[in-house]
Structure 1
């Protein structure tokens, strides 16, 4: 069985994430290919798409959001994701159990004894007038029936788990500051969330697995679970195993992949790329060693924006007081410094945020 080292896996990830070469595709097509983009920080998907798509301009994502082609909603790992309307409707029911378990795991004591079906029905009744509401407004409308739990616990149960919700624009629009206003997905998208099939077959899980491998493979089962947070995908893996090719990594883990998916030569040159906070190119795996060193794993989960040099996380970056500051995590060669600076100049032009200086701090 072919063994793929970390560099080979890195180049495969970069190719599929549009980070080896920028893609020439629409925003909805890119978001669909990436299986969504983590978006709890509303401005970060703009940076992620700029680093991935040729000619990307903020208005393209704004237009997709306002046209309801893409939507912000709680989905994978109970995190707000930017996904296409089709994927939100197709995948939401598959995530129901996980979403409820994660909210209940966070607020188990506060929500003990609550009848989830009754809370969900009350929430849907309040939202039946199709008026967007903040979480606080929604909780106020039902809290007389459940006066015990804290508002935060009851609100997250409703908005993040029980009633599939969309976070409406202007939340998530370019350089706009706006609070979260919720509306049921079915109302915002004018289509119903797809129900799960009554039988044991799991076509949704199988399609999700194929889509994940197209954007993240080759990958282990643990990687798939880390990406989506779902526990029930082993059956989906077995159902499509005959369609897949199998590799091993250097630790002996089984890696699954689609037969025709890109797996570039490990020595393929990789350009500098600036990634947003919580980018799924890093967080979409259980084993992130293909793209980030163990010593720096905490950066991604803490929300640091990162810079890829030769395909790996090599620096962090921030914008403060009209300065784009890049902090290298290792010494950079002269050629690497020049490449980072060149990409940083393009980034400042995209951000158009009055940035007057690029500062590169190099360790060592």
Structure 2
């Protein structure tokens, strides 16, 4: 079985994530290809797509949200993602159990004794009028029946798990600030979600395996679980294994992949790329060593925006007074600093509609 070096895995990751060469895909197709964008910070998907697409127009993504072709919803790992409407319709039922368990993992004591099916029915009855509601409003509407848990556990269980909901615009539109308002997915999209599979079949799980490998592979089954949050995918992996090829990483772990997916030469140059907070190019793996050093792993969950140099996390960046400020994590060569500054100027211009291209690279880490 062939061994893939860490650098080979890195270049494959960049290629699958559209970070090795910016893609000419339409915005909708790009969102589908990467299996959705992490979106708990509403403006971050725009940065993620700017780094992945040529001539990205943020209005195109805003239009897809208002046209209901892309939606914000809780899905993988119970985190808010921006996904195509088609994928949400197809995937949401497969995530139901995981979403319940993740909320219970946080509020098990508060929700002890609450019949979740009854709570779901009560929440759906409240939302049947089609009016958007905040999580707090939804919780208060049922709190008379379940006063003990408090509004936060009730609200999260209802809006993030029991009731398939979307977060309505203007939240998530380019340069718009708005609170979170929920309506059921079916009401927003005008179509019902695909039902759970019957008789033990798991076609959605099998499709998730294929789609994940297309966007993140080569990868281990632990990586797949870390990305999706789903525990029950080994059977789906087994069902499609005949379609896949296998490698080993440098630690001897099996990596699965699609036969025809890109695996660039490890020597392929990797341009500087600026990533938004919580980007799935980092979070989409159990072992993130292919793209970030263990010493900096906390950056991937702390909300730091990071810059890739030679394909790896090498700096953090932030916007201060219309200036993109880059702070290296270790000393950069002069050539690397120049490349970071050039990409930073492009990022600053994007964020300010061309009104500013100011960038500052710290002199030392």
| TM-score range for the pair, normalised by the shorter chain length | over 0.9
For residue 27 of structure 1, report the CA deviation from its aligned partner: 1.2
For residue 201 of structure 1, report the CA deviation from its aligned partner: 1.1
CA contact (8 A) 2:316 2:328 kept: yes
SS of the residue corresponding to residue 260 of structure 2 reads: coil
Instruction: Give 1:96's aligned residue.
Output: 96
How big is each residue's C-alpha offset from its partner over 1:167-196, in whole Å with a ceiling of 9 and x where there is no partner? Answer: 000000011110001000000011111111
Instruction: Give 2:358's aligned residue.
Output: 357
How big is each residue's C-alpha offset from its partner over 1:218-262, in whole Å with a ceiling of 9 and x where there is no partner? Answer: 000000000000000000010010100000000000000000000
For residue 157 of structure 1, report the CA deviation from its aligned partner: 0.5
2 CA distance for matches of 1:25 and 1:357? Answer: 29
For residue 356 of structure 1, report the CA deviation from its aligned partner: 6.6
CA contact (8 A) 2:123 2:158 kept: yes
Any residues of structure 2 matched to 1:1-364 within 5 Å, and which?
Answer: 1-352=1-352, 355=356, 357-363=358-364
2 CA distance for matches of 1:343 and 1:352? Answer: 14
For residue 321 of structure 1, report the CA deviation from its aligned partner: 2.4
Range with greater deviation from structure 2 (155-164 or 188-197):
188-197
2 CA distance for matches of 1:219 and 1:356? Answer: 38
Cα–Cα, structure 1 residues 356 and 220, in superposed 2: closer, same or farther, change >3 Å? closer
Root mean square deviation of aligned Cα: 1.0
1 CA distance for matches of 2:201 and 2:254? Answer: 24
Q: Structure 1: 5+ residue runs without aligned partners?
A: none
Q: Structure 2: 5+ residue runs without aligned partners?
A: none
> How many pairs are equivalent?
364
2 CA distance for matches of 1:81 and 1:322? Answer: 27
For residue 138 of structure 1, report the CA deviation from its aligned partner: 1.1
CA contact (8 A) 1:89 1:192 kept: yes
2 CA distance for matches of 1:357 and 1:217? Answer: 36
Q: Which structure 1 residue ranges, 4+ long, deviate > 4 Å from structure 2?
A: 353-356
For residue 197 of structure 1, report the CA deviation from its aligned partner: 1.4
For residue 322 of structure 1, report the CA deviation from its aligned partner: 2.7
1 CA distance for matches of 2:196 and 2:251? Answer: 36
SS of the residue corresponding to residue 238 of structure 1 reads: helix
2 CA distance for matches of 1:310 and 1:362? Answer: 19
SS of the residue corresponding to residue 289 of structure 1 reads: helix
2 CA distance for matches of 1:155 and 1:139? Answer: 5
2 CA distance for matches of 1:346 and 1:153? Answer: 43
2 CA distance for matches of 1:27 and 1:119? Answer: 37
CA contact (8 A) 1:324 1:355 kept: no
1 CA distance for matches of 2:33 and 2:133? Answer: 31
CA contact (8 A) 2:124 2:163 kept: yes
SS of the residue corresponding to residue 3 of structure 1 reads: coil
1 CA distance for matches of 2:364 and 2:221? Answer: 36
2 CA distance for matches of 1:157 and 1:299? Answer: 28
SS of the residue corresponding to residue 25 of structure 2 reads: coil
CA contact (8 A) 2:135 2:181 kept: yes
For residue 16 of structure 1, report the CA deviation from its aligned partner: 0.8
1 CA distance for matches of 2:39 and 2:199? Answer: 33
